[in-house]
Amino acid sequence: MSLSFTNIQLMTLWEQVAQQQPARRSLCLLAGLSHPSDSVGTLSVGERDRRLMLIRRKLFGDRIDGVTDCPQCGIRVELNFSISDVTSKFSNSSTNELSCDGYQVRWRLPTAQDLDDFADETVAARVREGLISRCLLEVRHHQEEIGALSCPEHVIEKVCEAMSQADPLGDTRLDLECPECGNSWKAAFDIGMYLWREIDVWAKRLVGEVHQIASVYGWSEQEILSMSATRRRLYLEMVGA
């Protein structure tokens, strides 16, 4: 995967995806920052997120720092980890069959395109049903084929467990402990949303720098964006920003 992009490319992409739904935005960010020949829609959700993490490391570094609220006492808890530690858990299992209580299920992992297709759906139950219909490719009960949505809930749960093992980054969760009340829990981490917030802050700061420099020197946005960060800082220092 190519990881080379300019300020102008990032600013253009930032503008294009700003109003999109999170799942669609994650896919568009990956598509915009990947090699043109990469078919990102066919990637599993975990592979999509792994690649987004690699892009984040390229743009902003390996360390992730953030905060979340303890679900028990409500206190703010820091979360700190490295992308390298998380991506080392990536697995690419091809196992896609499961037998349980007389049911045989052939399944596939949800893809980035699947999530994009349901990005505008606001009812979680409909999203779940849609993903079940797509990802349970064949369900048989004592050799008789039945519809995916007719599969019993306990069998579907087993399939979901198998999917989680095959694609562990598809639902990244961090082990946290509250320093105040001692509560331990697993906090969900969405790299797409986290990366978007960082790009959004970066882009708005850069727009401010362009405005300050252009107001003094009259240079175009493209000329200023083409500068290195070091050169922009020097000009900002000279204009007293």
Distances (CA, A) of 6 to 12, 222, 228, 229, 231: 10, 11, 10, 12, 15
Q: Say whether both 75 and 22 belong to one domain.
A: yes
The answer as to whether 37 is a domain residue is yes
In which residue are the tokens 């102008």 written?
A: 8
CA distance 23 to 27: 7
Same domain, 155 and 181: no
Window from 29-43, 68-82, 122-136 with minimum mean pLDDT: 29-43
φ/ψ of 131, rounded to 5, equals -70, -40
Residues 149, 43 share a domain: no
121 and 53 fall within a common domain: no
Residue 85 neighbours by CB under 8 Å, 6+ apart: none
Please tell me the pTM assigned to this model. Answer: 0.88
d(CA 89, CA 175): 14
Please report the pLDDT score of residue 1 as a whole number. Answer: 42
Task: Supply the DSSP symbol for 111.
Answer: B
Give tens-digit pLDDT for 196-226.
999 999 999 999 999 999 999 999 999 999 9
Instruction: Tell me how far apart the 2 most distant CA atoms of the chain are, in Å.
Output: 78
Which range marks the domain in which residue 192 is found? 7-90+175-230
Examine residue 238 and state whether it is found in any structural domain, yes or no.
Answer: no
Q: What is the predicted pLDDT for the residue at 5?
A: 80
Provide the number of structural domains found in the chain.
Answer: 2
Q: How far is residue 135's CA from residue 66's CA, in Å, rounded to a whole number?
A: 33
Regarding whether 128 and 11 lie in a shared domain, the answer is no
Do 78 and 18 fall within a single domain? yes
Q: How confident is the model at residue 2 (pLDDT cuts 50, 70, 90)?
A: very low
What backbone phi and psi angles, to 5 degrees, belong to 108? -135, 160
In a domain, 84, yes or no: yes
Of 166, 183, 218, the position where a domain reaches its end is 166
86 and 180 belong to one structural domain: yes
Q: Among 193, 197, 22, 19, which Cα is nearest to 115's?
A: 22
- Residue 236 domain flag: no
> In the prediction, which pLDDT does 94 show?
61
> What average pLDDT does the segment 107-113 reach?
95
Judged by DSSP in three states, 76 sits in strand
Q: Which residues partner with 141 through β-bridges?
A: 103, 144
Are 115 and 74 part of one and the same domain? no
